[in-house]
Amino acid sequence: MKILAIDVGNTSTEFGVISGGEIECSFSYITKEKRTSDESASFVIQMLSLNGIDRAEISDGIISSVVPDVNQSLINAIVKYFGFAPLVVGPGIKTIISIVCDDPREVGADRIVDAVAAYCIYGGPVIIASYGTANRFDYVNEKGEFCAAITAPGIQISADALQENAAKLPQIEIAKPESILAKNTVTSMQAGLVYSQIGASEYIIAAIREATGTNAKAIACGGYANAIYEYTSCIDVYDPHLTLKGLNILYERNRKQ
């Protein structure tokens, strides 16, 4: 049986086909609020075909979303073209972990999915460092309790803010320059953006470990993690498919029951 796992983020939406717990393929598009269900279905069917998968092979699915305005259109696309209503990560779903925060309802579906994956795959205590539109640093203890969440501006938000608020600064590629000793505008911005993210990551992860009295393993994920994890020793594992793995774990836990 193949399932379609979908993670709707503020910047991009990732799709993954999972069979027997293994990710067969993944693809993504830019998240747009005005995309119709037909447009979404057309993209998914085309990408499945390019990966040698017929849509008839997809028998079920699960969706995690932090963009409520696109949910109905996307769900309609799955129902209309695939013939099933996907499981949606939200109230009532069995999450495996417990949310120990002031208001558990404030914890986003993306954070829950990543925390489930990190705890089930790597054990606790664990820190999930997710680099996307926002940078998220979440802590799950050895008992599987989601205890803390830190949110910071993502690297692209920071780059956009520089370009939009300083008239002479250009749009740049997010990349680590050869040296922190930048000698032109582009490498100056790249150095500032990337090294500030590395520094913030190292400080926040160290502070979480100190505050919890643990040496919690740090797992990096998210679209911009590859610009960070190679250049710091504070991150133990880079798992680019952590969210899809978490969706599969939640699917198995809830659909089977």
Residue positions annotated with a catalytic role: 110
187 SS3 class: helix
Length of the chain: 257
> CA–CA separation, 113 vs 13, rounded Å?
14
> What single-letter amino acid sits at 105?
R
- Look at residues 156, 132, 153 and name the one whose alpha carbon lies nearest to residue 221: 132
Phi-psi category of residue 52: left, alpha or beta, with phi > 0 → left and psi -120 to 50 → alpha = left
Q: What is the torsional sign of CA 102, 106, 111, 113?
A: positive
Which two structure tokens, joined as six digits, stand for 175? 């990349």
> CA–CA separation, 121 vs 251, rounded Å?
15
Distances (CA, A) of 134 to 76, 94, 95, 137: 28, 26, 23, 10
- Look at residues 130, 133, 197, 199 and name the one whose alpha carbon lies nearest to residue 160: 133
Quote helix, strand, coil % in the chain, to nearest 5. 40, 25, 35
